[in-house]
């Protein structure tokens, strides 16, 4: 499977329930067993097979999101920030970004999933996730 933006994320953005400038976002890791579905997965409770391991807390880490308007190239870039899990022992295949409301998983809107292409494994080391970019090209 490939990295993707969940369809509902675009709808929520259009309807105003997601504000990339002011909302809080988090990123969680999953194993390769999670199969993303851009049509039917809309909230965090749809995410299965979140990783478990030393140095990783369920729900993942806070992610910094920034929005950049590019009028020269007619596009908006949304940067989904990277993060690290120090002193961790983790095997992960995907990173799922979501809006964190601080409560139930069923209330957290999904944004996008980043498929690494293969398992990434840390062993009593630092697991570093690089930032991703969502581009809305006009």
Partner 1 sequence: MIEKTTVSIDLADIPLALLIDRQQTLGSKIDKLRAERAHIKSHIEKRLSAGESEHASTDADQGDALAPGAFIEAAAT
By the criterion CB under 8 A, which residues form the site for partner 1? 3-5, 10, 80, 82, 89-90, 92, 95, 112, 114-117, 120-138
5/107 with CB nearer partner 1: 5
Q: Strand pairing partners for 125?
A: 88
Buried b (16+ CB within 10 A) or exposed e, 79-104: bbbebebeebebbbbbbbbbbbeeee
Minimum CB separation of residue 86 from partner 1 in Å reads 9
| Distance of closest approach, residue 81 Cβ to partner 1, in angstroms | 9
64: nearest Cα among 85, 78, 81: 81
Residue number with CB closer to partner 1 (33 or 103): 33
Q: Provide the minimum distance between the beta carbon of 82 and partner 1 in the complex, in angstroms, as a whole number.
A: 7
Identity of the residue, 23 or 115, whose beta carbon is nearer to partner 1 in the bound complex: 115
Nearer Cβ to partner 1 (17/128): 128
Q: Which residues contact 121 (CB under 8 A, 6 or more apart)?
A: 90, 91, 92
């Amino acid at each position: 499977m490939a990295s993707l933006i969940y369809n509902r994320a675009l709808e929520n953005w259009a309807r105003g329930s997601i504000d990339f400038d002011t909302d809080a976002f988090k990123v969680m890791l999953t194993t390769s067993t999670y199969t993303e579905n851009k049509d039917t997965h809309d909230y965090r409770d749809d995410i299965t097979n979140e990783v478990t391991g030393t140095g990783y807390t369920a729900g993942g880490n806070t992610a910094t999101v920034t929005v950049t308007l590019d009028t020269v190239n007619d596009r908006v870039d949304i940067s989904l920030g990277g993060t690290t899990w120090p002193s961790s022992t983790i095997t992960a295949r995907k990173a799922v970004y979501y809006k964190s409301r601080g409560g139930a998983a069923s209330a957290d809107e999904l944004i996008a999933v980043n498929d690494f292409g293969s398992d990434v494994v840390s062993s009593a080391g630092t697991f570093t996730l690089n930032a991703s970019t969502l581009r809305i090209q006009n």
